[in-house]
Amino acid sequence: MSKKFALRHTTVAVASLIGLISVATVQIATAAEKASTKPAGTYVTGDFHNHSTCSDGSISMQKLIDKSVKTFGLDWFVQADHGGSSARNCTLREDPFEPVVPALGLTNSSTGPFPPATYPTGGQPASTLKGPNQSWESTLPGGRAAIKGDGTANPKAMWRWQEIQEFQYKVTEDESRARQKPIWIGVEQNTPGHEHASTLVLQGQRPWPQSGISGNANLQAQYEYCFDRSDTDTSRGAENQWDCSVAGTTSTDALSSTARKITGSNSASTLDLGHRKTVEGIKWMKEKAPTTSYFVPAHLERPGVYLANNNKGYNVEHLRNFNNAAPDIAFGFESMPGHQASENRGEYAPNRGASLANPTGGFDSVGLGTFGGTGIYAAKIGGVWDALLGEGRKWWFFASSDYHNRGSFGPDQRESDQDFYPGEYQKDYVMARKGTNNLSAEAIIDGLRSGNSFAGSGDLIDRLAFVACAANPALPRSAFKSLVEKAAANAALKNAEVRINGCATMGEKLVVAPGADVVVAIAVRDPVGKNFSPYSFPNPSLKQIGITQPLDQPVLDHIDVIGGNVTGFVSPTDTAKYAGIEGTAAASNPSAGIKKVFNSTNWTATADGLRVMSYRIPAVKVSQYVRLRGTNLPASTPFETDANGNPLNDYDLSPFVDAAKAEAQKPGKVVCADAACPAHMRTVNGVKYSSLDVAAWADLWFYSNPVYIEVTNSVKVVGAK
């Protein structure tokens, strides 16, 4: 040391330095209290789109609920059958209601009351004319006369509004209270002008943790009557005498004087009528239940592009119309569809619906398939989702199981060549701010609406803390990085979010001064142990590139941080930017791209499965967003990912063999050569190929919702708080 100095001065200087930082704490706490005022919450898993014998599912809703919240452990569940009508008495259940061995995660029944030997191979189906496959007409005390509304079929079908209002709700509430989990009723709407949407009107329902007096699903039933395309009943809900008018609506479409609802949909003579009716339905939700309703288009790429004279898909302008009508109700889409084990993953395909008799009579799913199990609207960087996020919209990503059946397998068998159970393969992880209270349906709906959620498949990850923080310019960079990373790690360990002033998480916006640095921190957990895959042989997709990894023990390979600029809402009058099919300017955000890739070389791995990482966005000048995706597949995995890590079309992966023709119509790509590869794999010339459920278990992804970054002198991010 060449100089001497006074400790007194040194002391004061350090004190000043430390003191200033302390002082700033007080200042900032008053300037941005958002994070510190958020009630504590945790991410909870659930599913809101699935089917039972109340519509076209294969098992009773009781069994479906049992599978979902018991076998596969979901924290919450929305039983959401189609609208329309159904002939089966879906208050009945399988008899005996007991799974067979082997069954997915279920204990056997050796302790009774039903000896295993009494079970049929594959488990109890809902047998013809038994259990829930008996008709309403044959089982209701009042018989046919008890089935209300229009209808002449034999047996007479019950309109879903009556099922929901008089029968299904009670069973669901009983299940919820007995199992002490929030379980309630929604409807997969046959959406006028389009195909399907997951919808909910919770108001009136009283699932657990509510107790005492029973609730009702009257408003959900009324919504179904008023706005489901397949509900052509004109009875106004019999004694309900519903009127479907919407207060203050600007719609010029007249309500039927008899049915008191807009009848009809898109057709050659009524172009766009159905779409307008759907928008009216969203407005109706906003009027009746503004904080406990949602409208989420389902598998929206599957039916192809929108047609004004038919009921097909959704273009980006329709999503904008919905969101403009009620952003707190139409706030996202299920772009990671169900049916993940089906022959054409997600049931997405070119020329969908064609047959030998009508080989050109089908229509192309948008994108001609899913991409890593996700539709092109979300899977394509710079596509529809990024276009919506680029406006600063509240538009979030969800997954659903869309469970109907297990194809050629029984309901208790572990294999599937059609669907996975809710929670078995896909999950929505939703922030529920329940504090010290029990988890409630309202808290979950708030979480869905907030965008503070992520979704994924195959339990690739089960925890995520994703946060963007304005860098404190007065703190050493390395220290600030460590602080934010540790905060993310702590949050992930608690299955919670980061609550620090000056930081924002999924669905939120961080408002920063021009030129601010932003630190993005991510902590995920790659869970130790096995997922629900019944297969432990090596992943065939990874085997191609020399990686031996059991299908039931996937490992997160990398995470992409995807970002894009926010340029503000597009006006409906700016047609070129507002309306268009996938690939057009209206459905694109050219600024979107992969901003950072994290993998084992640049994240910190801990023994408990956490992967912690961060990066700094320097000197932000424009409003923007960042979102995440991750997968078990490295970039350039043949037939799975491209050189940039983007998922490839799943439709192309699986061979298609038409028994009537000598040659395979679609060749196989990824050989499933392991001796344990199951017999139901698609086989061409004696060679098994990865397909169906194996292809799904081999190709896992997760998607986060975005964190917005708003720069004060740039575009305001309207859709996030």
Partner 1 sequence: MISKKVFSSSLILSAMLTLIACGGNNYLSLEDAATDLSTKIGTYLSELTSSAGFNTKALPNLFAEKFLDGGFTKADLENSLTANSTALVTNPELSLFPIATVTNAKLSGCDSNNICTLNGTLTNSDADTTSVDFSTKVLVSVGGVIYFYGDQSSTSSI
Half-sphere exposure of 148 (CA within 13 A, CB side): 17
Could you say whether residue 483 binds partner 1 (CB under 8 A)? yes
> How many residues sit close enough to partner 1 to count as binding (CB under 8 A)?
81
**Closest to 536 measured CA to CA, from 332, 667, 694:** 694
Pattern 401-430, partner 1, x by CB under 8 A? ------------------------------
Q: In whole angstroms, what is the distance from residue 347 CA to residue 526 CA?
A: 28
DSSP code for 312: B
The CA-CA-CA angle for residues 663, 664, 666, to 5°, reads 145
Q: What angle do CA 55, 60, 63 make, to 5 degrees?
A: 140
Site for partner 1 in 677-716 (CB under 8 A): 710, 712-713
Q: Is 478 in the site for partner 1 (CB under 8 A)?
A: yes
556 binds partner 1 (CB under 8 A): no
Task: Report how far apart, in Å, the C-alpha atoms of 332 and of each of 213, 279, 577 are.
Answer: 33, 15, 20
Q: Which residue has the tokens 């409630």?
A: 440
Of 55-63, 169-177, 390-398, 501-509, the segment contacting partner 1 by CB under 8 A is: 501-509
**Closest CB to partner 1 among residues 26, 129:** 26
9 binds partner 1 (CB under 8 A): yes
Closest approach of partner 1 to the CB of residue 519, in Å: 8
Could you give the CA distance from residue 346 to residue 287 in angstroms, rounded to a whole number? Answer: 34
Q: β-strand 453-457 against 509-512: which pairing, if any?
A: unpaired
Phi and psi at 627, nearest 5°, equal: -140, 170
Q: CA 520 to CA 496: how far, in whole Å?
A: 17
Please tell me the distance from the alpha carbon of residue 125 to that of residue 61, in angstroms, as a whole number. 13
**Which residue, 40 or 528, is less far from partner 1 as judged by CB?**
40
Verify binding: residue 514, partner 1, rule CB under 8 A. Answer: yes
Q: Torsions phi, psi of 201, nearest 5?
A: -130, 100
493 touches partner 1 by CB under 8 A: no
How long is the chain?
721
Among 167-175, 277-285, 447-455, 512-520, the segment contacting partner 1 (CB under 8 A): 512-520
Q: Are strands 183-190 and 76-82 parallel, antiparallel or unpaired?
A: parallel
- Which one of 179, 288, 486, 530 is in contact with partner 1 (CB under 8 A)? 486
- What is the Cα gyration radius of the chain? 26
Check residue 435 for interaction with partner 1 (CB under 8 A). Answer: no
27 phi/psi in degrees, rounded to 5: -60, -50
**One residue of 18, 178, 676, 687 binding partner 1 per CB under 8 A:** 18
* Structure tokens given for 470: 């304005």
Interface residues for partner 1 in 557-576 (CB under 8 A)? none
In the complex, minimum distance from the CB of residue 320 to partner 1, in angstroms, rounded to a whole number: 25
For residue 3, state whether it binds partner 1 (rule: CB under 8 A).
yes
Report the residue number, 14 or 178, with the smaller CB distance to partner 1: 14
When asked if residue 28 is in the footprint of partner 1 (CB under 8 A), the reply is yes
Nearer to partner 1, 33 or 652 (CB): 33
Centre a 10 Å sphere on the Cβ of residue 114 and count the other Cβ atoms it contains. Answer: 16
Q: Which of residues 450-469 bind partner 1 (CB under 8 A)?
A: 469
Considering only residues 166 through 225, tell me which ones interact with partner 1, judged by CB under 8 A: none
Cβ pair 343, 417 in contact under 8 A? yes
- One residue of 5, 121, 250, 356 binding partner 1 per CB under 8 A: 5
Q: Which of residues 602-621 bind partner 1 (CB under 8 A)?
A: 614-616, 618
Alpha-carbon distance of 389 to 316, in angstroms, equals 12
Any contact of residue 34 with partner 1 (CB under 8 A)? Answer: yes
Of the residues 54, 92, 219, 512, which one makes contact with partner 1 according to CB under 8 A: 512
Q: In degrees rounded to 5, what are phi and psi of residue 581? A: -80, 175
Question: Is residue 601 at the binding interface for partner 1, with CB under 8 A as the rule?
Answer: no
| Least CB distance to partner 1 at residue 461 (A) | 21
In terms of CB distance, is 17 or 528 closer to partner 1? 17
Per CB under 8 A, the segment of 4-12, 445-453, 537-545, 566-574 that binds partner 1 is: 4-12
**Using CB under 8 A, which of 401, 472, 533, 649 touches partner 1?**
472
Cα-to-chain-centroid distance, residue 132: 28
C-beta separation of 533 from 551 below 8 A: yes
Question: Among the residues of 644-698, which ranges form H helices?
Answer: 692-698
Task: Figure out which of the listed residues 96, 116, 361, 515 binds partner 1, where binding follows CB under 8 A.
Answer: 515
Pick from 183, 379, 484, 612 the residue near partner 1 by CB under 8 A: 484
DSSP per residue over 462-516, as a string? SEEEEEEEE--TTS-HHHHHHHHHHHHHHHHHTT-----TTEEETT-EEEE-TT-
| 31 interacts with partner 1 by CB under 8 A | yes
Among 90, 187, 201, 500, binds partner 1 (CB under 8 A): 500
Of 305 and 496, nearer to partner 1 (C-beta) is 496
| Residue 12 binds partner 1 (CB under 8 A) | yes
* 232 in contact with partner 1 (CB under 8 A): no
Q: Tell me the torsion sign for CA atoms 553, 557, 561, 562.
A: negative
Determine how many CB atoms are found less than 10 A away from the CB of residue 468: 30
Contact 581, 315 (CB under 8 A): yes
Tokens of 650: 């799943």
Q: Least distance (Å) from partner 1 to the CB of residue 501?
A: 5
Can you tell me the distance from the alpha carbon of 18 to that of 255, in angstroms, rounded to the nearest whole number? 69
Q: Which of 289, 511 has the CB closer to partner 1?
A: 511
Position 8 contacts partner 1 (CB under 8 A): yes
* Cα–Cα distance, 245 to 548 (Å, whole number): 60
CB closer to partner 1 out of 394 and 669:
394
Subset of 39-78 contacting partner 1 (CB under 8 A): 40
CB of 623 to partner 1, least distance (A): 12
- Using the rule CB under 8 A, is 523 a contact of partner 1? no
Decide: 446 and 390 in contact? Cβ < 8 Å: no
How far apart are the C-alpha atoms of 83 and 136, rounded to whole Å? 16
Asked if 436 touches partner 1 (CB under 8 A), the answer is no
- Which residues in 644-683 contact partner 1 (CB under 8 A)? none
Nearer to partner 1 among residue 179 and residue 433 (C-beta): 433
Q: Shortest distance, CB of residue 432 to partner 1, whole angstroms?
A: 17
By CB under 8 A, residue 474 contacts partner 1:
yes
Q: Binding of partner 1 at residue 503 (CB under 8 A)?
A: yes
As a whole number of angstroms, the distance between CA 469 and CA 466 comes to 10
3-class state of residue 88 by DSSP:
strand
Cβ proximity to partner 1, 170 vs 486, nearer residue = 486
Binding window for partner 1 (CB under 8 A); candidates: 221-229, 307-315, 324-332, 485-493: 485-493
- Of the candidates 363, 395, 429, 480, which one interacts with partner 1 according to CB under 8 A? 480
Using the rule CB under 8 A, give the single segment among 258-266, 299-307, 365-373, 491-499 that binds partner 1.
491-499
Residues 361-364: contacts with CB within 8 Å, 24+ apart? 363/303, 363/304, 363/312, 364/304
Q: Does 6 bind partner 1 (CB under 8 A)?
A: yes
Residue with Cβ nearer partner 1 (38 or 680): 38
Could you tell me the CA-to-CA distances from 291 to 270, 285, 331, 357, 441 in Å, in that order?
32, 9, 12, 48, 11
Among 383, 222, 354, smallest CA distance to 288 is for 222
Q: Which is nearer to partner 1, 158 or 503 (CB)?
A: 503
| Minimum distance of partner 1 from residue 629's CB (angstroms) | 23
